Structure 1
């Protein structure tokens, strides 16, 4: 594996040196960018070195040069973050551990609005209605940020920030065609006339995934972002999204009566956000917004239930249907207090609702209601000193009331060099499924009638019960201490972001089994128990992570993300929790402009040995190389681009189990913009 890394670095540096003279090197560092400006650390607009938390920014140029088709793969450039695959092409994420298909420890936002699943947690990464071409940047807060974005910003925040229509070209068309059945198409138009500007995007993503899994995917999506200026000070913004299509799940199996066989699912997802904003002056604005989202999923596996004589064989379709929705209203007021202080406060009301007779044992809606008040202050008492603090008060019907505070001190001891000390507390509220799961399989009516005629007590039992919550769950808690250094070296065209953390986590929600009587339990011992959730786990994470950005010559951008993590866990699942975090992760990405309008993007990624919390095998360290080579061609009044993208260029590695191996995948990307 060291050979792959060494060869990648040698080839990348050779290309940079070969083309340096052709592109030209400036004597002045004028093209060296300033520190990025972020919104997600405290809800205030700040440069990264003034922010009270560590933030990684993945900008639009990096997103495009990576060749990524899906959002999750971009997180390999975040120090400490792991990206894997589960049951084929379903993304699993982790941050200093806790790798899981439903990564619950990160809050997920689109333009500041939570799309965190109220039923499962995390984000539905493969089904997001946002086109990757519409993303301006990703902001990833690397640490608890409940003071700004609430309880589920437990280990951090992902904020997907989309492009303003005013910055878009009038028309764009994009398609991907390649291996694994890749057939993507996207069309976008943007209009900016007077007080109105809007962008409309529609498209489809299609692929057939891996041969070893039923994981075909077809996703149709359309989204609209529009702005209308009401007055010189106020604006109305509307964002609407729809996504829907086909997903496949399950496993291929030689067993004729497997309960996890191949099956098709259909989903629909819709979101709408309406925001009114009034700008009063520099650093002073007020906005109020209404957000509503819905998601439904329909999935059935035809199944034969084979019982011992005399009960026979029964047709028993297994259902995996569910639906949920979210409605919230939020307001925020940003204020300036003289020359040295500013702040933001706000309030938030949210109502979540989920329905599934399959997963909750009833057709009745399951409700979660949340009230929030939050505030953040930034104070600059002396030149080079910034004191930041904030807190979030929350009250929800699942786990009660809580307060999540944080405090940070930023000291710029030299121009371009900042040291940050941070302390934060956070919580993760139980998901509706964790709190109220009742995953049962009722008996066929005909079988119940037979059992009653025989006077069997089995007639009053469920056929099987896989999960049933019986514990009153509490919030998971985290106490975090962090030290960060941010440095900018203009002469070397280098930026550094070094981060040392200690997280202490308690009351972690884990799965356990307990005895439970079922009808099938009379025939097979594996059906004589079920699972529940309880607050039994704990963990201590110590990690060093670093990010670097280097621009050795004009047109070249080198990004490095690395982390070393040590985790000690307590509880019955301690070994699995510890194995969910690789000791080392490395991400190296190079974007280089070649002569004659060619561009190269190449990434090398390495993840140490690990196992996801959903089980599977303990996998060895895995390396991956992705490459994109593109050529831009003037065409009419616009420009066309042709790109070849190769993922896993050196061959695939194991995904979830040792015999599940990813493979090299390539496709052609065609783009026209005017």
Structure 2
């Protein structure tokens, strides 16, 4: 059974929630109930208010963004139940849902205005290469749970759609600058205007900081984007966005051992183009078409092999090869007894990747009770990386997909949702994912929902082709690290959730409970075994070893399950106060089978997700020009995959903002932000990544 099994805590929460109808007996008008409830498109591709969506969803509104004290886009997801945010390096973010992730979380689909930004070469999202800043964002829709039936394989655990400000919604221009701890010096400008029926918004920015004190793993980047909106008729809207991001961050894992030499600059250059056309055919039909292109290039420093081996001229290594040849005679396994120097990249974040995509969606509403959103699309991905792919050739993949999502309001109280996604790849087997859900209104303010999903995540371009080996120009292998595996299959998810959504009209808010049970089988993980002979193995065998050195390949080697509860609450008890609460209890278990090589025993997943995460945001507006936020964050013990840190943390942030009216269309807002106000120091992914108290000043001029 995949239906949620409730423990005592969950049973208590459920019984309290189900007692709500006896309390919430007041009659409210539709205007009272839904005036402050956001509408969601990302869950089913159908516009629904948040009480009608079939899966748990969070909307990070502009009001929340302003109150949160977040300085970077990734920080905003701490506001979402079940989401965790951590930093392998000071400017390298990892965002995951329900844990079980490492340096490169891979199970979330992230989009900007509907354009996918998942990187096939890294199987993740590089948050500092997006080409938009936090100041460009209007709101974010987050689907907390598998959304493969709507958006495809990458949405195995959830989906994020970042919706940016448009020149129609934001007619004023803006300049924002932030200075503070770690040498942070950011500036962003946005200019809006209109020429006839063409609206435009141009945004430019620079971000710079020094990173953590020990590593000095800072960033220095420039970004910009343009957003054009053309409305040739009442029925047509054409959006075009384009942007770039160019700069560098410092990456490395030497902080675990305290070795500064393992840190290095990772340069990046990215750009994107996105065209979206929306046409209202009539009151029952709407057509949406989009074309997009993403490009990303990553570079890190390379080093001579002789330097890495501390062997000038490779004199010692060539001497060893000559000796091995004389001893082994005809059994000498290599093509040459002499090797020459060559450069090696010690970081995996190297290469180029491009994505082209096209999609068309038809939304059909023959009545007020039935809506069908169907469509098809294709995506072409290509990548090259000597480090990650083991050669200088380009690998590519074509993905064709069709989808359909339907909403049927059978009665005023009962509604049904169903969706499917079928994907056909040029390099993997086809996959079909489905979801069925139902919502039932017990009262005008209380809704129950249930959903079951079976979804598949097909291997990414990197997972299908990734292999790493260090081979001298003469064809002599120094070290085989990993090999590609042609036989991997899609990861499989079976998930179920029960939800309770309670509206609070008098407080302009809501409470959302989610009970979930998720099982992932055929999970992709590294499998270790004895590799072919290489120089390292020959050296070890000559010293008495009985096996060649280990190598790894991806296999469907893991299974895990999560069950728990999530709570989300948003309330405005007065017109001056905002309360936002997010909590998650997640019991993760499972096993990762690591292979047959000695010392590579199976591992448990139990500690790979925090049992508890919580965020409480309190915002109060003292006057129309002065408001204050307190933000509390808590995460229990967790050991992320590839990390040696197991540490809980709790922090309190304070933000105070004061606005000054300069003229009829000019306003200056000054914000003081204290992060980790009580200086409760902690580390996240690397032991040297020490978070302490930090102070920031932000000034924004609207004109």
1:654 to partner: Cα distance: 1.5
The match for 1:272 is 273
1:315 to partner: Cα distance: 6.1
Residues 400 and 425 of structure 2 are in contact (CA less than 8 Å); yes or no, is this contact kept in structure 1? yes
Instruction: Summarize deviations over 1:218-251 as a string: whole Å, max 9, x none.
Output: 1210101101122232222111010010121225
The counterpart of 2:317, out of the listed 285, 288, 311, is 311
Partner SS, residue 398 of structure 1:
coil
For 1:554-573, list aligned pairs within 5 A: 554-572=575-593
The match for 1:591 is 619
The 2-side partners of 1:122 and 1:165 are apart by 30
The match for 2:217 is 215
The 2-side partners of 1:174 and 1:605 are apart by 26
For 1:198-213, list aligned pairs within 5 A: 198-213=200-215
TM-score of the aligned structures, taking structure 1 as reference length: 0.89
The counterpart of 2:656, out of the listed 616, 624, 629, is 629
The 2-side partners of 1:514 and 1:357 are apart by 23
The counterpart of 1:163, out of the listed 162, 165, 172, is 165
Question: Is residue 518 of structure 1 aligned with residue 534 of structure 2?
Answer: yes
Instruction: Summarize deviations over 1:120-178 as a string: whole Å, max 9, x none.
Output: 22211122211211111111101111110011110110110112211113311000111
1:103 to partner: Cα distance: 1.2
Residues 425 and 479 of structure 1 are in contact (CA less than 8 Å); yes or no, is this contact kept in structure 2? yes
The counterpart of 1:490, out of the listed 501, 505, 515, is 505
For 1:66-85, list aligned pairs within 5 A: 66-85=68-87
Partner SS, residue 317 of structure 2:
coil
Change in 2 beyond 3 A, CA 1:113/1:327: same
For 1:62-461, list aligned pairs within 5 A: 62-251=64-253, 261-282=262-283, 284-303=285-304, 304=307, 305-307=309-311, 310-311=316-317, 317-319=343-345, 320=347, 321-443=350-472, 445=473, 448=474, 460-461=475-476
Change in 2 beyond 3 A, CA 1:281/1:131: farther
The 1-side partners of 2:264 and 2:216 are apart by 8
Residues 389 and 467 of structure 2 are in contact (CA less than 8 Å); yes or no, is this contact kept in structure 1? yes
The 1-side partners of 2:243 and 2:200 are apart by 14
The 2-side partners of 1:570 and 1:310 are apart by 43
Partner SS, residue 166 of structure 1:
coil
The match for 1:468 is 483
Question: Is residue 582 of structure 1 aligned with residue 597 of structure 2?
Answer: no
Cα RMSD, aligned residues only: 2.3
1:283 to partner: Cα distance: 5.7
The counterpart of 2:634, out of the listed 606, 627, 640, is 606
Shifted more, 298-307 versus 528-537: the winner is: 298-307
1:89 to partner: Cα distance: 3.5
Partner SS, residue 302 of structure 1:
strand
The 2-side partners of 1:235 and 1:595 are apart by 39
TM-score of the aligned structures, taking structure 2 as reference length: 0.86
The match for 1:653 is 682
Question: Is residue 552 of structure 1 aligned with residue 558 of structure 2?
Answer: no
The 1-side partners of 2:521 and 2:66 are apart by 39
The 2-side partners of 1:527 and 1:461 are apart by 15
The 2-side partners of 1:312 and 1:518 are apart by 14
The 2-side partners of 1:293 and 1:657 are apart by 31
Change in 2 beyond 3 A, CA 1:532/1:609: same
Structure 2 residue runs without a partner (length 5+): 1-30, 320-339, 595-601
Partner SS, residue 243 of structure 1:
strand
Shifted more, 242-251 versus 286-295: the winner is: 242-251
Shifted more, 273-282 versus 175-184: the winner is: 273-282
Instruction: Summarize deviations over 1:524-545 as a string: whole Å, max 9, x none.
Output: 5798222211001111110100
Partner SS, residue 430 of structure 2:
strand
1:490 to partner: Cα distance: 2.2
The 2-side partners of 1:264 and 1:241 are apart by 23
Residues 215 and 255 of structure 2 are in contact (CA less than 8 Å); yes or no, is this contact kept in structure 1? no
The 2-side partners of 1:620 and 1:248 are apart by 24
The counterpart of 1:55, out of the listed 39, 43, 57, is 57
The counterpart of 1:663, out of the listed 692, 696, 699, is 692
The 1-side partners of 2:631 and 2:256 are apart by 38
The 1-side partners of 2:557 and 2:33 are apart by 52
Residues 94 and 581 of structure 1 are in contact (CA less than 8 Å); yes or no, is this contact kept in structure 2? no
1:43 to partner: Cα distance: 0.3
Shifted more, 212-221 versus 554-563: the winner is: 212-221
The 1-side partners of 2:203 and 2:539 are apart by 55
The match for 2:599 is none
Residues 91 and 249 of structure 2 are in contact (CA less than 8 Å); yes or no, is this contact kept in structure 1? no
1:259 to partner: Cα distance: 11
Residues 36 and 508 of structure 2 are in contact (CA less than 8 Å); yes or no, is this contact kept in structure 1? no
Shifted more, 100-109 versus 501-510: the winner is: 100-109
Count of aligned positions: 630
Residues 212 and 689 of structure 2 are in contact (CA less than 8 Å); yes or no, is this contact kept in structure 1? no
Instruction: Summarize deviations over 1:496-528 as a string: whole Å, max 9, x none.
Output: 000001111100001122222221333357982
Question: Is residue 536 of structure 1 aligned with residue 557 of structure 2?
Answer: yes
Change in 2 beyond 3 A, CA 1:607/1:527: farther
1:665 to partner: Cα distance: 1.9
The match for 1:9 is none
1:318 to partner: Cα distance: 2.5
Change in 2 beyond 3 A, CA 1:260/1:423: farther
Instruction: Summarize deviations over 1:429-477 as a string: whole Å, max 9, x none.
Output: 212222211212122x4xx5xxxxxxxxxxx531122222235211101
